[in-house]
Chains A and B, each alone.
Chain A
């Protein structure tokens, strides 16, 4: 898991790749990739700095992970501290401690982070499980299931960037879609879900929720539609 960095990585070679080529997986200290690169095999490093169009054929593991551009991982990606700008596509699972998202994240498996924040959109085929999620949606946020301690979703402010975002996600309006959302503290707007279950729940404008089950508090703001509200007793 996390604590295994440090000593173990001393003496590992660094990997620097530029241009258009292939890189070989393995264990590295620091990895820096600029250009259009395919990484063959599993790769593990203390830190990654990626710029450009990068694709891996295997799994990726790292303590610190920065990515600008587009990244496609054929396996799973485990990055304790991850910062992304652009598009990231993971065929397997994505997990770590803290994820700063700026762009569009597509995950075929489950996504597990302690803290997830940023701006953009996401599409998680599996379970999105996080300690806290704090996101401004510029595109669609979609997950089969969301399980959290706290969830805070807002529609991103219209800015110069919204043109860029529209270009990235032409078909999708900035809204959250999920089958089930479960958590302690849920505060959402522009959300479409079958069921929301939580302790303290706030449903904001533009939301359509089939059923809300709450324990201590439910606040429904104008412009939200809720099929059924149930207070779960103590």
Chain B
């Protein structure tokens, strides 16, 4: 999928911010490194940004910076997750997750419900595991609860989702990515998914 990009020059013209501000926000990590996309053009090297992401982000910073210091603003913007929101109807339309998942797990939400990036991520993870045939619908419900209750606690730090089964009894856990885990022989690790990777995949599909 081709991203909609905006050049640095256009960005400054549209938003009215200066080079100094842009570099300052980069130093303060308000704008992630990966959003600076360097490309060769006929005028030499130019920097581009994913258009909708950067415009949303700058809008947010500009609105917050009157009341908060830049360091405080940085605390409000998670480095890993985007300030991305999507209505249920639009989400369903884009076929990012299967219709089954939307019906089963978001069936009760009205069409105009706005999902945060995290919520979209949970649906995406569930869809992923259902597609492999390794997880049942009921387990999916439980996984959703686990993600909802515990994933935000990592505050953007890398973590893995681990799905194990022993004697037919399944269980889910979230552990930080640098942890070593060892199980007894009766346990079968059904899936070990690095959340960072899933975030990247989902981000790629959304942009």
A, B bound: yes
Could you list some 18 contacts between A and B, CB below 8 A? A95-B27, A112-B27, A129-B23, A129-B26, A130-B23, A131-B27, A147-B23, A147-B26, A148-B19, A149-B20, A149-B23, A184-B18, A185-B20, A195-B44, A198-B19, A199-B18, A199-B19, A199-B20
Interface residues of B (CB under 8 A from A): 9, 13, 18-24, 26-27, 44-45, 71
Residue of A nearest to B44 (CB): A194
A92 is an interface residue with CB less than 8 A from chain B = no
Interface residues of A (CB under 8 A from B): 1, 95, 112, 114, 129-131, 147-150, 179-180, 182-185, 194-195, 197-199, 232
Compute how far the CA of A195 lies from the CA of B18 in the bound complex, rounded to whole angstroms: 16
- Which 3 A-B residue pairings sit nearest by Cβ, starting from the closest? A149-B20, A184-B20, A147-B23
CB distance from B16 to the nearest CB of A (A): 9
CB distance from A52 to the nearest CB of B (A): 31
* Residue of A114, A147, A194, A197 with most chain B CB atoms under a 10 A cut-off: A147
Main SS at interface, chain B: helix
Residue of B nearest to A179 (CB): B45
CB distance from A196 to the nearest CB of B (A): 11
Compute how far the CA of A184 lies from the CA of B12 in the bound complex, rounded to whole angstroms: 12
CB distance from A232 to the nearest CB of B (A): 8
Q: Which of A148, A180, A194, A195 contacts B20 (CB 8 A)?
A: A148
Residues of A within 8 A of B13 (CB): 232
Residues of B within 8 A of A129 (CB): 23, 26-27
Compute how far the CA of A131 lies from the CA of B21 in the bound complex, rounded to whole angstroms: 9
Residues of A within 8 A of B22 (CB): 147
Compute how far the CA of A114 lies from the CA of B22 in the bound complex, rounded to whole angstroms: 13
Compute how far the CA of A168 lies from the CA of B20 in the bound complex, rounded to whole angstroms: 33
* Sample of 6 further A-B pairs with CB below 8 A, known A130-B27, A184-B19: A112-B27, A147-B22, A149-B21, A180-B44, A182-B19, A184-B18
Residue of A nearest to B74 (CB): A1
State whether A180 touches B26 (Cβ < 8 A): no
CB distance from B3 to the nearest CB of A (A): 22
Compute how far the CA of A197 lies from the CA of B46 in the bound complex, rounded to whole angstroms: 12
Residue of B nearest to A147 (CB): B23
Compute how far the CA of A199 lies from the CA of B45 in the bound complex, rounded to whole angstroms: 20
CB distance from A94 to the nearest CB of B (A): 12
CB distance from A123 to the nearest CB of B (A): 19
Residues of A within 8 A of B27 (CB): 95, 112, 114, 129-131
Residue of B nearest to A215 (CB): B18
State whether A183 touches B26 (Cβ < 8 A): no
Residues of A within 8 A of B45 (CB): 179-180
Residue of B nearest to A195 (CB): B44
* Residue of B13, B18, B19, B27 with most chain A CB atoms under a 10 A cut-off: B19
Residues of B within 8 A of A194 (CB): 44
* Residue of A114, A184, A199 with most chain B CB atoms under a 10 A cut-off: A184
Residue of B nearest to A114 (CB): B27
Q: Which of A114, A147, A179 contacts B19 (CB 8 A)?
A: A147
Compute how far the CA of A183 lies from the CA of B20 in the bound complex, rounded to whole angstroms: 5
Compute how far the CA of A194 lies from the CA of B45 in the bound complex, rounded to whole angstroms: 10
Compute how far the CA of A214 lies from the CA of B71 in the bound complex, rounded to whole angstroms: 30
Residue of B nearest to A110 (CB): B33
State whether B20 touches A150 (Cβ < 8 A): yes
Residues of A within 8 A of B23 (CB): 129-130, 147-149, 182-183
Compute how far the CA of A182 lies from the CA of B18 in the bound complex, rounded to whole angstroms: 10
CB distance from A212 to the nearest CB of B (A): 13
Evaluate whether A131 and B19 lie within 8 angstroms (CB atoms) in the complex, with A1-B71, A195-B44 already known. Answer: no
